[in-house]
């Protein structure tokens, strides 16, 4: 089974109007959310609920900072590739990136931007819990993590509606979850 994880970059700063969009950093809320998501991912891995994917990250500063904070907080030493084409990529470009992945990769995480990430998830996730899919239809908040599973042997074979939405974790939901821990007994 293939696993595709989509991580939307965390909340970015808008306080410098002269700064190029590509160079915008995370704001304080984004830095906090990214660290929280990293600890959450570490817990998922400890419980066997998440693979160790190859990370493909947008070259935008806010995406790179998101991944660095997630990885540091979760102690995630995963292979990372920076991909400039992920910056503000549309669905067609994102599908192209996935279809071009080496056949030996079975678990990948894209760290990128909306609306492309949300549109990609809506295109690929043909099944999954209805409430989760409806929430995704409304919004993919900054810092959110999605997981889509495919009963396929390589990413080159993905097609519209060929995946199942398995996970939709939002930083706000994790902050509200006072039971967040690495315990697998939940």
CA–chain centroid gap for 34, Å, is 11
pLDDT reported for residue 178: 43
Q: Is residue 147 part of a domain?
A: yes
Least Cα distance to 145 among 46, 77, 43 occurs for: 43
The stretch 85-99 carries a mean pLDDT of 96
Confidence of residue 181 (pLDDT cuts 50, 70, 90): very low
pLDDT of 182 higher than 80:
no
Q: Is residue 103 part of a domain?
A: yes
Q: What is the pTM of this model?
A: 0.93
Q: Is residue 157 part of a domain?
A: yes
Give pLDDT tens digits for 13-63.
988 888 888 999 999 999 999 999 999 999 999 988 898 999 999 999 999
Q: Is residue 182 part of a domain?
A: no
Distance, in Å, from the CA atom of 107 to the CA atom of 109, rounded to the nearest integer, reads 7
Provide the CATH number for the domain around residue 155. 3.40.50.1240
3-state helix, strand, coil in the chain (%, to 5): 40, 20, 40
pLDDT reported for residue 104: 94
pLDDT reported for residue 184: 57
The domain of 105 spans 2-9+51-60+79-176
Q: Is residue 163 part of a domain?
A: yes
Measured from the Cβ of residue 18, the count of other Cβ atoms closer than 10 Å reads: 4
Q: Is residue 68 part of a domain?
A: no
Is residue 100 exposed (0-12), middle (13-18) or buried (19+ Cβ within 10 Å)? exposed
Cα 100 to Cα 29, 153, 157, distances in angstroms: 34, 14, 10
Confidence of residue 176 (pLDDT cuts 50, 70, 90): low
Q: Which residues have CB under 8 Å from 181's CB, separation 6+?
A: 43
Q: Is residue 128 part of a domain?
A: yes
Confidence of residue 93 (pLDDT cuts 50, 70, 90): very high
Measured from the Cβ of residue 69, the count of other Cβ atoms closer than 10 Å reads: 22
Give pLDDT tens digits for 134-151.
999 999 999 999 999 999
pLDDT reported for residue 173: 80
Q: Is residue 36 part of a domain?
A: no
Task: Report DSSP state, residue 53.
Answer: P
**Angle made by CA atoms 176, 115, 133, in degrees to the nearest 5:** 55
Is residue 130 exposed (0-12), middle (13-18) or buried (19+ Cβ within 10 Å)? exposed
Q: How many structural domains compose the chain?
A: 1
Give pLDDT tens digits for 94-128.
999 999 999 999 999 999 999 999 999 999 999 99
């Amino acid at each position: 089974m293939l696993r595709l994880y989509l991580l939307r970059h965390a909340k970015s700063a808008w306080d410098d109007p002269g700064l190029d969009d590509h160079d915008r950093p995370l704001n304080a809320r984004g830095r906090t959310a990214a660290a929280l998501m990293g600890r959450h991912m570490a817990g998922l891995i400890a419980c066997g609920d998440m693979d160790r994917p190859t990370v493909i990250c947008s070259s935008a500063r806010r995406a790179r900072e998101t991944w660095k904070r997630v990885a540091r907080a979760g102690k995630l030493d995963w292979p990372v590739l920076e991909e400039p084409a992920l910056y503000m990529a549309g669905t067609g470009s994102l599908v192209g990136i996935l279809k071009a992945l080496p056949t030996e990769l079975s678990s990948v995480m894209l760290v990128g931007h909306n609306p492309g990430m949300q549109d990609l998830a809506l295109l690929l996730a043909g099944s999954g819990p209805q409430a989760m899919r409806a929430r995704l239809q409304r919004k993919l908040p900054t810092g959110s993590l999605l997981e889509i599973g495919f009963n396929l042997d390589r990413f080159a074979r993905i097609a519209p509606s060929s995946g199942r939405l398995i996970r939709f974790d939002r930083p706000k939901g994790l902050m509200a979850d006072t039971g967040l821990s690495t315990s697998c007994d939940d």
